[in-house]
Amino acid sequence: MTTLRLFAGAVCAACLTAAACAQINVTQPVPEKATITVDAAKVANYRIPRTIFGTFLEPIGNSTYNGLWAEILVNPSLEENLWDTNHIEGMVRDEPGLAEASRLGLPLPWEPVNAGQGNRYEPHWGDAANSWRSLEVIGVPGQTTGIRQRVYLPVQRVLTYKGSLYAKHVEGPTGLTIQIRRHNSDEVLATAHVDASAADWTKYSYELSVPAGKLARLEPADFAVIVDGDERVDLDELSLNPSDAIDGMDPDVIRMAKEMHTPLLRFGGNFTSGYHWKDGVGPLDKRVSMLNIAWGIPEYNTFGTDEFLEFCKLIGAEPQIALNLGSGTPQEAAAWVRYVDEHWDNKKGGLHWELGNELWGSWNLGWPTLEQLPGRTRAFSEAVRAVDPTAKLIATGADPDHYEQWNAAQLTNPAGTFNYLSTHFVVTVDQTQQRRPSPDFVSAATFALPVELGRKLQAMQQQINQHPAFADKAHVAFTEWLYVSHGPVTPNFTNMGGAIGAAGFLNMLMRNAQVVPVSDMTGIMEFGGIWKKRSQVYATPAYYAFRMFAGADATKPVGVTVDGGSYSVSKGVTRLSEIADVPYLDVVAALDDSGKKLTLFVVNKHLTRDIETEINLQGFAAGAVAKVETLASGSLYDVNDAAEPEHVVPTEGSAKVSGHSVRYAFPHESVTVMTLTAK
């Protein structure tokens, strides 16, 4: 190993960049021309299972509501106590008028159409069309009186919106006017009328069409409900959906999720420990809105079990559900398993079920002590097995950097209690042992993490194999993984650096699939996946890296050796700070089932150097041209967002095959999938 140190004024071309030299040890410099040798005749004794390309959905942020779920309105049931104080502070900072609206008795984030009228609103409790609270609006003769909410409409895709509301007439006129207005303006862009004359709670429907060109993409508007003259009316359970919504879901999200080719979709996370599945079934209008105590945001329960299963069907994924081992009971869990098995396509069971989520964390409601853990796991396992003996059970394991004691407790259970032990690695990469690390050092240390994780996963499997009841019968399920940072110039799940990290992680999973046959990236919505802001759907660079890997037809790993240089990290990311022998060119090669297609998954982790490479093919006679898909950008910190939704996307190209070799330059900080087809 050559240890390189940077002194004042020194220049060190052999390492990643000058800024990183002080902390990076170059174990093998990058040669003038790197070589990749693929031996297609040397097939591994395991397959790459599709299930390592699972993804993850949890009600957090705007992943479901105002994300996947197409409903445009926030707090449509006009409830109180749906946000914690941190979120309320943020909402009021963003929209200062909400403070005065709240003083008038309006629920967040609703405001009066005419704030100058003062108090014309009375909340009612205990007599509501939905949940607990409704809102009476008291009109002013000759003035416009009503409630409004700032909204963003997907006008780039659709101009017609369908909605409904519940009303109970109190006195006076009976007309209600529903409008789309320009934000903070009296200008009306679309209008509809209903005659809400019923004295009992009644549902009324309407349709609003915005003229083309009247509202720009990403421009806010106001949704308003206005009473007629001195009318008094009680309102509840409002709704506004794009007319092209698919079973209540955003069609752009469905399309992009389907293009990920994910075979498993995990429904779980911290909310699991306080989630009761029966709250999310039955008629949508009757489901109760409540606080999601894990994340301090609303849980409307309109996206429940049936909707989740339908989403899985629409994108071609199989459900993987985490059961409530916090405030739940074994009986409740068994009933959920029975319900899902009866409503899933094959009605045969055998789905993946997680016995809790991060039970070792005090942020989870009702977390067990280490002494309670085995018994609780066993009780839920037995309840589920009684309903579905074929269920694939994932017991809660600990993270790869501190799993030994927790997993040992789980392994005291009888044989058959579980099929997998879960592990998570949601890591903050700009927390390093190196004080004041340079951005380049943080990037190099981040890109090294999958190498050490692979070693940790093998050690986790070795611990499992030491217990005869589980040896070679139970494996690891990596049910959450994500790269997080707090600085703008560090790899993050939102930027190109996060895509490099994700691709390296997927390569690691393909190498270790015999011990980790199940994995779920965080997440299909938000984090490393699809986002929706201001009704614009877009995806992170990591989404595209995931799509490139998961969409490839590659099932049988084959031998590959790489001479492309390597480095080691010292005092790196705190949770895995010492990592040796990290290849600059990270390569996995695999055949499809027919043996007629060979795919190379290549991650160039070098921060500055395009690596000229000769790829030598053994045991595979390729056609004249290889297909190449590359994800790269001008900076590791480039992102996609609502304003530029396709700033970082893959490009397609080709490479010439000459005899049994291919020459190709892999761009620095890039992800490449190269596909060769047999002659």
C-alpha to C-alpha distance for 146 and 113, rounded to whole angstroms: 5
Q: Are residues 632 and 539 in the same domain?
A: no
C-alpha to C-alpha distance for 357 and 422, rounded to whole angstroms: 9
Confidence of residue 2 (pLDDT cuts 50, 70, 90): very low
**Domain span at residue 473?**
50-68+247-553
Taking Cα atoms as reference points, which of 467, 480, 457, 449 lies closest to residue 574?
A: 449
Q: Are residues 455 and 528 in the same domain?
A: yes
Confidence of residue 346 (pLDDT cuts 50, 70, 90): confident
Helix (H, G, I), strand (E, B) or coil at 272: helix
Taking Cα atoms as reference points, which of 453, 404, 446, 458 lies closest to residue 424?
A: 453
Q: Are residues 463 and 520 in the same domain?
A: yes
Q: Are residues 580 and 525 in the same domain?
A: no
Q: Are residues 586 and 660 in the same domain?
A: yes
User: What integer pLDDT is reported at residue 1 of this predicted model?
Assistant: 35
In a domain, 77, yes or no: no
Among the three residues 553, 582, 609, which one is the final residue of a domain in this structure?
553
Kindly report whether the peptide bond that precedes residue 523 is cis, defined as omega within 30 degrees of 0.
Answer: yes
User: What integer pLDDT is reported at residue 137 of this predicted model?
Assistant: 98
Q: Are residues 29 and 110 in the same domain?
A: no
The secondary structure of residue 481, as a DSSP letter, is E
Residue range 614-637: mean pLDDT, rounded = 98
Both tokens assigned to 90: 């943020």
Backbone angles phi, psi at 116, to 5 degrees: -70, -10
Residues 6+ apart with CB under 8 A from 89: none
Residue indicated by tokens 């240390």: 445
Among the three residues 499, 518, 553, which one is the final residue of a domain in this structure?
553
DSSP for 183-225 reads TTSS-EEEEEEEE---SS-EEEEEEEEPPTTSS-TT-EEEEEE
In a domain, 79, yes or no: no
| CATH label of the domain that carries residue 197 | 2.60.120.260
In a domain, 199, yes or no: yes
Q: Are residues 165 and 268 in the same domain?
A: no
Q: Are 400 and 423 in contact (CB under 8 A)?
A: yes
In a domain, 76, yes or no: no
In a domain, 325, yes or no: yes
> Residue 339: is its pLDDT beyond 50?
yes
C-alpha to C-alpha distance for 133 and 166, rounded to whole angstroms: 12
> Residue 16: is its pLDDT beyond 80?
no
User: What integer pLDDT is reported at residue 487 of this predicted model?
Assistant: 85
Q: Are residues 532 and 475 in the same domain?
A: yes
User: What integer pLDDT is reported at residue 317 of this predicted model?
Assistant: 98
In a domain, 97, yes or no: yes
Residues 238-272: tens digit of each pLDDT: 999 999 999 999 999 999 999 999 999 999 999 99
Q: Are residues 413 and 273 in the same domain?
A: yes
* Torsion sign (Cα): 271, 276, 277, 282: negative
Q: Are 191 and 177 in contact (CB under 8 A)?
A: yes
Both tokens assigned to 165: 């509301």
How many helices (H) and strands (E) are present in the chain, helices listed first?
10, 35
Residues 84-132: tens digit of each pLDDT: 999 999 999 999 999 999 999 999 999 999 999 999 999 999 999 999 9
> Which CA distances in Å does 442 have to 20, 324, 539, 574, 614?
9, 37, 24, 11, 30
Number of domains making up the chain: 3
Both tokens assigned to 578: 């010492």
β-pairing, 34-43 vs 264-267, is unpaired
| CATH label of the domain that carries residue 341 | 3.20.20.80
DSSP for 126-159 reads S--SSSSEEEEEE--TTS--EEEEEEE--TTT--
In a domain, 195, yes or no: yes
Confidence of residue 643 (pLDDT cuts 50, 70, 90): very high
User: What integer pLDDT is reported at residue 347 of this predicted model?
Assistant: 87
Among the three residues 487, 520, 553, which one is the final residue of a domain in this structure?
553
In a domain, 73, yes or no: no
> Which CA distances in Å does 149 have to 75, 522, 568, 577?
10, 31, 54, 48
Both tokens assigned to 351: 């789905």
Q: Cite the DSSP H helix spans in 237-329.
A: 251-258, 305-315
> Residue 276: is its pLDDT beyond 50?
yes
Q: Are residues 523 and 652 in the same domain?
A: no
C-alpha to C-alpha distance for 557 and 10, rounded to whole angstroms: 43
Backbone angles phi, psi at 221, to 5 degrees: -135, 175
| CATH label of the domain that carries residue 591 | 2.60.40.1180
User: What integer pLDDT is reported at residue 135 of this predicted model?
Assistant: 98
Q: Are residues 363 and 507 in the same domain?
A: yes
Q: Are residues 372 and 288 in the same domain?
A: yes
